[in-house]
A and B are shown apart, each in its own frame.
Chain A
Amino acid sequence: MSPQTPFPRDIPLPLPAPEPLLIVLLVIAFLAHLLFVNLMLGGSLLTVFYEWRGLRKPAYDELAHEIAKTVTVNKSLAVVLGVAPLLLINVLYTIYFYTANSLTGLAWIMLIPTITLAFVLTYLHKYSWEAMRHHKRLHLGIGICASGLFLLIPFVFLANATLMLFPDRWFSIQGFLSALSVPSVLPRYFHFLLASLGVSGLALVGYFRREQYDFEAHLPGLNRQEILKQGYTLTLGASCLQFLAGPLVMVTLPSHGFSAAMLGSIGLGILAALPALWLIWKELQSPLPGKRFIQIGGLLSLTVLLMVSGRHLYRETALASHKHQMQIRTASYERQVQTAAAEAKAAEAAEASLPLPELGAKTFQQNCAGCHAAQTKLVGPPMTEMVKIYGSKPADFKAWVQSPGKKRPDYPQMPAFPQLSEKQLEGLAVYVLNSKH
């Protein structure tokens, strides 16, 4: 940790459940969210790609339309499944997460209108498919805009996720753009983008290999085997590129988060991916691809689970020491809070036993002096006027303080003081009404 590293105090309320349970929930919920984010982004890119190919070979236009219909469903699921990981991150990494949000604040809040706009464009793209059949390039333009926004959004999330890991870099951050320059952000972005493409390629195979899907009726002019191979090719290509992106992420991450468990988890993930890639290769050679889909999907799911776990283990190790320091400081501060609160309570008790005029003077200083002075008008009238009105009627005076009305048109109305005790009111009446100023 650098000397500039802040060690803020945590919120002194207990976690709502044992930490390991929350962590397991986080990993699972995050995985589900990520799956649909990948499908949404990859699906959007595939839609645009096939619609573009459809300009030359119209049969692809219908394929693009079919994929577009899945994107709007996946985007709804991506959002709703994102809420649970958000909640879990909030509760498990309160200090780290909110600090990262704040340091990238404008970009963070701009996510809301940006994602909304991306969704509106995605609906527009899908629902205007028939109506804009004769304005194909404009229609494709809408799709490209939506995809472009989908491509920008992950930068903000990744900047936040990365900042969370490095309290020792917080002092160097001035806004979202400078957060992008934290070394591992860009490699993580490419890692994520390739994952989206890989998942979407596989989803393409899964969607069109189904027996009950009447391929020829839906997509005349296209060949099922060829489309399946295109999906597999995308997954294979993207996964092979991960062998570049993955190490790039590893070398840009600071070393203090590495652990044997984390490396083991990542290593097992790679091991699970290798047979999957080999099976994809076999599928590409086969005249009837699609039979090995379940095995491939299973192996790659295992890879993703291990990778996400590895990512979590890195975060735990990277933050362990900082978290510990934070807990010690939180405990120490809370003890000081308790001691001071006890002292204040004792002082209050002592104050209650003061003689009435002194108690009244003190109460006046603490509650009234902001607006009332002895002889001059501040916000409200001076004490001399109070003596004139209430000099012989202390009960009326106390009633007024507890719940004042509006008497003078040229003065603002006085607020009520229900918090004053009977003793304080008594003292106040003695002090104010006996004042000879």
Chain B
Amino acid sequence: MSLQGQQSIGTKTPLIPIRKVLPWLIACGFLLLLPQVFPSGAGLTIMNQMAITIVFALAYNMLLGQAGMLSFGHAVYMGLGGFFCMHLLNQVEYNQLYLPLPLLPLFGGLFGLIFAFLIGSFSTRRAGTVFAMISLGVGELIAACSIIIVVFFGGEEGVSGDRTMGPQVFGFDFASQLEVYYLTAIWLVLAALGMYLFSRTPMGRIANAVRDNEERAEFLGYSQRNVRWISFCASGFFCGIAGALFAINFEILTEENLNLATSGSILLITFLGGVGFFVGPVIGAVVFTLLQTVLSLYTEIWQLYLGILFVLTVMFFPSGLTGLIAMHFRPWNLSKVGLLIRPYAKIAGPALVLLFSAIAIMEILFHARHSSIGSEEMNLFGMTINSHSPVPLIIAVGLLLISFFVVRKLAPGLLDAWQDANHQERET
């Protein structure tokens, strides 16, 4: 993408380059308009959840993508930030603490930062496996504490509160979902912008340097340990903001916010989206939340699909869904995307049949094994079929095999077209 001589020497960069601001403006406009498109309560809940997951995933990627640190216990920083905010909300409610709700995420961030500072002081000494193992241990430790220390974590029922008890801000008391949506959206933009700018500071660049070659960075005057620690603190801060937004939205935090399943899913989300891109975690969070909320309405085995999607992504597109999109920039820049349309169109039909027959097999098998006795009818893509008769299964397997065969047959053609579309004729 970086064309040679693109940034010629001596050209002045304008104070705010429009090319860089435009995506942010579009994103803001998008966030403003979304509630008009999805005004339902369920829609707003999903969007809020999405926004929180985006902040968390971006913060996680400050470590994984920017600093090359694999944390297996990152739910801790979001969760602790959330728990502290929940207690703050209760202080507001019962002890007349003066704290306007829109400022709460700032405190969540501070709590996340403090814990990242404390835990990072020993966990960031080493990179790689050692760091990953310590993060796993600490994650498990705090998750275990959350059940034991009932005073703070509320045991199994968690800690709940009421966000509307604080002072009104410009007449808003944040009782409605829509007000909370806009509050969350504003913090999403602030946090994302903060993290984006962080990656463009000397500190952000040196975090990349330490990620790529820690020894070299040491010989340039940088302590690799301090670089990791600072990255860790910054990530903890933004995780804490996500935690506070969670507290505001759901008004309850439980052990689930701290446990390893949550830590695992944020890794999955970030990787799914693509760790090598700033927007990667955003895409990962959107896709994940959609699967989690929408797909789970239609099927009980949505986690299976998520798992398969994750495995396929890691195997075939290690740079994630964003990488898959970014792969097309080069043909686009060469004005050769046209070469891909026909092969894509050709393979799309068989690929869809392949996808749906695979889904059909899994759904039929699941229904046959888990439906209550006597209920043999199931709904599949709008059709009513009998999961206990072999016919639908045989048809699905047949379709799967045929479409798999056709896709294999077409794949070399697609690969050739892909090579052509990426090939740049040498200009003289």
Partners in one complex: no
A interface residues (Cβ-Cβ under 8 A, vs B)? none
